[in-house]
Homo-oligomer: A and B are copies of this chain.
Amino acid sequence: MTSQAPTRAYRRLSVEERRSQLLDAALSLFAVRAPEDISLDDVAEAAGVSRPLVYRYFPGGKQQLYEAALRSAAEELEHCFAEPPDGPLTRRLANALDRYLAFVDQHDAGFSALLQGGSVVETSRTTAIVDGVRRAAAEHILSHLAVEEPGNRLRMTVRMWITAVEAASLIWLDEEKEPPLDELRDWLVEQFVACLVATAARDEQTAAVVRAALTLESADGPMGSLARRVLPVVGDAAHLL
């Protein structure tokens, strides 16, 4: 890059564009290194701007930049969850998971750092941002389940599955992104169905949700496929009935 390029960029970008450019640069650094190993110099260099410029936008320094980047990542994540309320539930969930897992794949180490805690930049504010994303995910899922007032069991099941998805994402990043994303997505959808059915066995509201959801599923969809693969596994368990 010549020394002209950054100067030209200084003139062209609006305040909003510049801010978003700096956040993008920070997020791409957080994706490959832990936040505590990144300096404002690194962010300035990645964005092709001067350090004072970074400070002008984030006078609170690295902590402020980190929180702003986290907030921007949280907004992006919340957009992943938006899905029209049409068609089989498993398809809607798969669509949302596709976007979520693409986010995990792209942000990589930054996603881990964000969720795993123990980071020097973690504060009650950053924890609140991450919790906000979890809450938003739960609200989205509950709205798709179309329950007026979801009870304790149903809400717990949804929140437990969301935590399990987070855990799976972290393990997936840790284990060199195995299995492939498509397989991971299908499996997470199946885990959701399994958890919901287990809860339905002791909660009438959840049972109604499952029955309604099943009518929208077809034999050639993910539920049909799951049902046909589960039967041989539990087929020998007639002694339990």
Contact = CB atoms under 8 A, between A and B. Distances in A.
A217 interface: yes
A118 interface: yes
Interface in A66-117: 116-117
Contact of A201 (B116, B190, B218): B190
B198 A230 contact: yes
B197 A193 contact: no
A9 interface: no
A196 B231 CA distance: 14
Nearest to A235: B211
A122 to B, nearest CB: 6
Interface string A169-199: 0011001001100010011001101110111
Given A122-B118, A168-B160, A179-B152, A219 B202 contact: no
A122 B179 CA distance: 32
> Which of under 10, 10 to 19, 20 to 34, or 35 or more describes the interface residues of A?
35 or more
Contacts of A207: 232-233
Copies of this chain, whole number = 2
Contact of A202 (B126, B178, B187): B187
A146 interface: no
Contact of A118 (B117, B161, B202, B228): B117
Contacts of A117: 117-118, 122, 127
Contact of A233 (B119, B210, B215): B210
B226 A201 contact: yes
A237 interface: yes
Contacts of A197: 194, 230, 233-234
A152 to B, nearest CB: 6
Given A187-B198, A217-B237, 13 more contacts: A117-B118, A117-B127, A118-B122, A118-B124, A118-B128, A122-B122, A163-B166, A198-B226, A200-B233, A214-B234, A214-B236, A214-B237, A224-B240
Interface of A: 116-119, 122-124, 126-128, 152-153, 155-157, 159-164, 166-168, 171-172, 175, 178-179, 183, 186-187, 190-191, 193-195, 197-202, 207, 210-211, 214-215, 217-219, 221, 223-224, 226-234, 236-237, 239-241
